[in-house]
Amino acid sequence: MTSTGKKTTVTFNPNTLKYTVNHNGKSTETTVTNISSEAEQWFKLYCKNKIKATVIGMAMRHKLNTSNEPFHLRTSEAATLHLYVDDKCLIIQLLNMDSFSNSLKDFFMNPMLIFAGIHVDNINNRLFKECGFRACKTLHIRDHARMKWPGKFSEYPELKRYEDENEGNNSDNDVEPILTIEPWMLEGLEGPDDDDIFAKKIQRVALDGEEHRIEVEKSIDTLQKLCFKRAFKTLDIMEGARMRWPEKFSKDAGLKVLAREVANMHIDLPHHVSLSKWDASVLFLEQVEYATMEAYASYCVAHKLLIGE
């Protein structure tokens, strides 16, 4: 992984059982654990007794689903949770955890901690459904960037053009619907590259129509309500950035684009690593690097959006 042209390196200390990820002229100490007490200790050391709101970068990776089921029917368990604050990263191996103690869950309910990232609402739902806890406060960095800079990070520019072209015209018969957004199209969209996956789903169906337009239940009210609900509950850095710079952030922009445009960071998140075996009992160095940089980038973008630093 690179940033500002410099190589990222990862080393493991067998004495402390911790990793050091060197990047951007900085060093991050990364802890990988499947033991609840170790995760608790990390929170106690770096997140306890905060006297003001503190941003924690958050990301998640899932167990690879290799079934032959259609894409929209596939489900995958949450495998790892990545957290970052103050040059410290914690990778929790969710599928291999010995337990999820009440003390650990309490840290996620601390109102002074703001867990920020892309698709944090989906991450929160997964944590609650599969692990029995969720974060009290979340910040969806893409949503927040869209709210801060309207138009810059437009997730669905086709919908905006459709609205502009049909402003003031509410007749249901003016445009023949080509595509209705259905629930299956929104399922499983939880990673930094998921906008691209969604776009490909849309494209695959829309190409069958002559107009190549997306019609969302004739009035796009359903999608608008969905977005408003998500923005109310979370803060998505990509969506926020797209709102501010619509011409700069396309619908397939992910965390790498957000990091570059909002926080002036250049990171590499290799696709082959994102699709690797995240449920493994021992993560390899590339996975540790990927998870650390993913959480770090989320933290930096959120910090820039909220504090401007």
Indicate the pTM of the whole model: 0.68
Average confidence (pLDDT) over 70-97: 86
pLDDT 10s digits, 153-210: 654 443 343 334 333 333 333 333 333 444 444 445 444 344 445 444 444 443 333 3
Closest CA to 294 of 265, 255, 249, 251: 255
Phi, psi of 132, rounded to the nearest 5 degrees = 85, 15
How many structural domains does the chain have?
1
Torsion of Cα atoms, 92 then 98 then 102 then 107, to 10°: -10
The boundaries of the domain holding residue 107 are 2-306
Torsion of Cα atoms, 119 then 120 then 121 then 123, to 10°: 100
| 69 confidence band (pLDDT: 50, 70, 90) | low
Q: CATH number, domain at 174?
A: 3.30.420.10
Which two tokens mark 166? 């049909």
pLDDT 10s digits, 247-256: 555 554 578 8
Distance CA(43)–CA(36), nearest Å, equals 11
